[in-house]
Amino acid sequence: MFISNHEKNLVSIICAEIVRHNNFVLTTHQLPDGDGLSCELAFFCMLTRLGKKAVIVNDMPARAVFNFLPCFSRIMNPERYRQLKFNPEVAIVFDCSNRERVGNSLMAVSEARMLINIDHHEGNTLFGDINWISNTRSSVGEMCFFIVEKLRCLDRDTAECLYVAILTDTGSFRYHFDGRTLHIAEKLLKSGVDPETTADNLYHNNSISSLHLAGYALSHLQYDRENRVAWTVLTEDVYRKTGASEQDTEIIVDILRSIKDAEFVFLVRERKNEVKFSLRSRKGIDVRSIAEKFGGGGHNSAAGFSLQKMSAEQAVSKFLKYLRGRKQDEKK
């Protein structure tokens, strides 16, 4: 079935709340990716068309490659939001497994009388008043399609945003999707999306600084033959020297994932008092279960976690020690 009765019911409930209320705050996780960001923009377009008031509040800026999307310039940071003195009735959080992942935008979310949580991560903490969680869906964009369609707001702008959400979270239709996803993508294309132009905007607009960062990451690539795992480490100093930002690491993870001799790969980013790990599966390894061992989560093929109060070198050493112990346990 294209959409289950359970999902239909949740779509109806969410649509009823959208119709009933007028002021909305939209947000997603820190370091917004194409899925969460594009869903915010799709809903902003939809709510505006319905005569509602909406604001998008993100803790961190998105990659500049997304600036071709409709209403991208309307995204604001928490500081600017405070100056608005906006009174949200409903907060909608996209693509977050728990409310803490929205970072400083939590302030705006907490002001709303109702919280709607739309996500496709297994292990979501169900932090909303209304929770639509479906880990069988390719992306939150795929889920949001049903809401936009039911409210009859599927114009070219919302279609383009939802298409980008699906395109980016499936790795350009390479993983975590099925026939339902393709059927929705077809409907979005029929609504006016130009797939070639969209792909060109997304994948052929990298900055020089982001490529310098990628160059550093690849030149410092490491490989553990015994565990068949590859990784690279990016410190705060590297970001300063290349002029790149954390948002520029997304293309690096995709490159690492292409290594044929690695069962899975990980990227390490050093922050103040925190080291973040982004894990990607290569050979069917469940990286979500690995991330959960360190308090993280995500999908089977893409997950992450953070380690506190240690250097990147110490964090990597701790993680590799765990992987070697895990490998030994598998051999027993």
Whole-angstrom CA distances from 273 to 270, 276, 306, 308, 310 are 8, 10, 10, 6, 7
Short-list 266, 326, 261, 251, CA closest to 301: 266
Alpha-carbon distance of 315 to 311, in angstroms, equals 6
Contact 184, 166 (CB under 8 A): yes
pLDDT digits (tens, 9 = 90+) for 115-172: 999 999 988 999 999 999 999 999 999 999 999 999 999 999 999 999 999 999 999 9
Which structural domains are found in the chain, ordered by start? Answer: 5-203 (3.90.1640.10), 208-331 (3.10.310.30)
Alpha-carbon distance of 99 to 112, in angstroms, equals 13
Query: Quick check: helix, strand or coil at residue 329?
Result: helix
Contact 120, 104 (CB under 8 A): no
Q: What is the pLDDT along the chain (332 residues), one digit of tens a residue?
A: 589 999 999 999 999 999 999 999 999 999 899 999 999 999 999 999 999 999 999 999 999 999 999 999 999 999 999 999 999 999 999 999 999 999 999 999 999 999 999 999 988 999 999 999 999 999 999 999 999 999 999 999 999 999 999 999 999 998 889 999 999 999 999 999 999 999 999 999 999 999 999 999 999 999 999 889 999 999 999 999 999 988 889 889 889 999 999 999 999 999 888 999 999 987 678 999 999 999 998 888 889 999 998 999 999 999 999 998 887 766 66
Instruction: Please name the helix (run of DSSP H) or strand (run of DSSP E) that holds residue 217, with its range, or none.
Output: helix 208-219
The residues with which 131 forms a beta bridge, in sequence order, are 117
Query: Quick check: helix, strand or coil at residue 307?
Result: strand
Distance of CA 212 to the CA centre of its chain: 24
**Residues of 133-143 as b/e, b for ≥16 C-beta within 10 angstroms?**
bbeebbbbbbb
Alpha-carbon distance of 34 to 37, in angstroms, equals 5
Helices and strands (DSSP H and E) totals, the chain: 13, 12
Alpha-carbon distance of 305 to 276, in angstroms, equals 6
Contact 54, 40 (CB under 8 A): no
Contact 235, 270 (CB under 8 A): yes
Alpha-carbon distance of 163 to 275, in angstroms, equals 32
